[in-house]
Amino acid sequence: MAWRNLWRNRRRTIITASSVFFAVFFALAMRSLQLGTYDYMYKNIIESYSGYIQIQDEDFWENRIVNNVFEAKDDLKQKVLEDKNVKDIIPRFESFALASSGPRSKGVMVMGIDPEKEKLLSDVEDKLVEYRLTGEAVKALKSEDIPEYLSENLDIFTGNSYSGKGSLQLDLGIKENDEEAVMPLFEKYASVENRYFSMGEESSLAGDRLSRYLGLEREDTVILIGQAYHGHSAAGKYAITGIVSIPNPDLDNKIVYLPLDVCQNLYYATGKLTAMVLHVRDNDDKAIEETISRLDSRLDAPYRVLGWKEMNSTLVQQLEADNKSGLIMIGILYLVIAFGVFGTVLMMTAERRREFGVLVAIGMQKSRLTGVMVYEMLYIGLLGIVAGVAVSVPVIFYGHNHPIRFSGNLAKIFEDYGFEPVMVFQLIDNYFISQIMVVVLIVLLSIIYPVVKIAKMDEVDALRA
């Protein structure tokens, strides 16, 4: 009877179910976009620079000078590798210098890395720029016979650099049936020749934004001047073998990579490190905290174990504050939609007052009539929830595989805060259940009104309605 009642007035049922549908759809889409963007930002920061856990000298994090370094002895490595969550150790030597090329100079971060070990974390080799959409390259591409949509997208993404075909095709929206025709043009006009380095090689890699500021290209030379270990002067010149595009704009604007041993020689700190980054098996927050606790108990001074949250405390606070504001916005959305659902239930109850009076007058018990109304609302809620999930899932999957990329002033705002101007949807996770349960609660609360109205209904007044 409840199911048949729904379709006696299709418009009323569709309006009520639509309220629930929009509640589910917007709640899931907004939360997915918010959480996915946070995860993307965390991943970029962690995998581009800090890693999940680092071991440093106890004074280095607060005072990052080359005197606060340590020697990576075999017994230290053995203690660290004995932990069940540690797969490997990634050595680093980090300092600062003044980088110069021609008339321009800039303060930069110099990072000495093991070219092979670094592939376990930031994988610098995979970030070597393959395509660069310079003004000249875009002009040459537009002079060819290319689709109109591609010409428009080239104007939007002029100046961008890409580490592979996939990201280039994604940003420019290159269609599968156009790939064969247009990709050779990109190889001709926009491709960049880059090469990774190896240990002992007197060469360097520069961040893409930094290279554009200093006017550096492959096979150019960059001069580094800084303060070395125990008061020595650090000075050296290194050929640029490659340009790398780092997702973190702030890091991309100031990073110069050197082979680890070359960097140690530059700063007169042979055999010493500023950090050992740990390659972990499980990067879940609980597993990371437990790993830090175990290592803290094993390692004595002068070593210090830092987790990614401690190393990125400012970022964590910023995103937590933004998360709170996002929850407030979703709360407002729920409040608006709750009133919408309640309004449609109120309308539905008022419209059917005479119907309820007739049913009770001919002998139907109020308890059974209440049960029918409860079933009707549950069916409507179920229809709205199923429809909301069915529509939101494809949107979320599409948004995850095709991130929203900003350009112009919006991109500048993101980059000013040190974030890549990208927003990504998070795939289905625990948030799905929590958002659906809130909507279910709204539907259940809205049932209270018709139940109370039926229980207190006067049959004579209802028949006169």
Instruction: For residue 199, give the 3-state DSSP assignment.
Output: coil
Helix axes 430-455, 313-351, angle to 10 degrees: 30
What are the pLDDT digits (tens) for 132-143?
Answer: 998 899 999 999
For residue range 76-132, what is the model confidence (pLDDT) as tens digits? Answer: 999 999 999 999 999 999 999 999 988 889 999 999 999 999 998 888 998 999 999
**Single-letter residue type at 435:** Q
pLDDT band of residue 414 (cuts 50, 70, 90) is: low
Q: Looking at residue 118, what is its pLDDT?
A: 92
pLDDT by residue (tens digit) across 343-354? Answer: 777 877 777 778
pLDDT surpasses 90 at 433: no
DSSP secondary structure letter of residue 52: S
Q: b vs e for 324-350, b when ≥16 Cβ sit within 10 Å of the residue's Cβ? A: eebeeebeeebeebbebbbebbeebbe
pLDDT at 258 over 90: yes
* Mean pLDDT for the stretch of residues 28-34: 85
Q: What is the mean pLDDT of residues 218-228?
A: 92
Q: Quick one: tokens of 424?
A: 């990504």
SS (H, E, C) 425-453: CCCCCHHHHHHHHHHHHHHHHHHHHHHHH
Cα–Cα nearest to 357, from 347, 369, 345: 369
Has residue 40 got a pLDDT over 70?
Answer: yes
With cut-offs at 50, 70 and 90, classify the pLDDT of residue 329: confident
DSSP secondary structure code for residue 304 in this structure: E
pLDDT at 36 over 80: yes
Instruction: Please tell me what DSSP assigns to residue 51.
Output: -
Strands 104-113 and 255-259: parallel
CA distance 68 to 46: 23
Distance CA 388, CA 391 (A): 5
Higher pLDDT, 83 or 421: 83
Name the nearest CA neighbour of 196 among 245, 260, 125: 125
Domain residue spans of the chain: 2-45+315-463, 53-129+192-282, 137-191
Which pLDDT value is given to residue 410?
67
The answer to whether the CB of 122 falls within 8 A of the CB of 207 is no
Element (H, E) at 148: helix 148-156
Does the structure show a pLDDT above 80 at 465? Answer: no
Cα distances (angstroms) measured from residue 430 to each of 334, 393, 427, 437? 18, 14, 10, 11
- Give the single-character DSSP code of 48: I
Instruction: Give me the phi and psi of 44, to 5 degrees please.
Output: -60, -45
| Structural element, H or E, at residue 412 | helix 408-416
pLDDT band at residue 453 under the 50/70/90 scheme = confident
Confidence of residue 330 (pLDDT cuts 50, 70, 90): confident
The residue ranking higher by pLDDT, 392 or 231, is: 392
pLDDT value of position 193: 87
Predicted confidence band of residue 407 (pLDDT cuts 50, 70, 90): low
**Tokens at 379, concatenated:** 């069916």
Round to whole Å and give the CA distance between 90 and 260. 11
Nearest to 168 by CA among 139, 197, 137, 145: 137
Q: Apex CA 226: angle with CA 221 and CA 231, to 5°? A: 145
Pairing label, strands 53-57, 303-307: antiparallel
Rounded Cα–Cα distance for residues 277 and 321 (Å) = 28
Burial of 379 (0-12, 13-18, 19+ CB in 10 A): middle
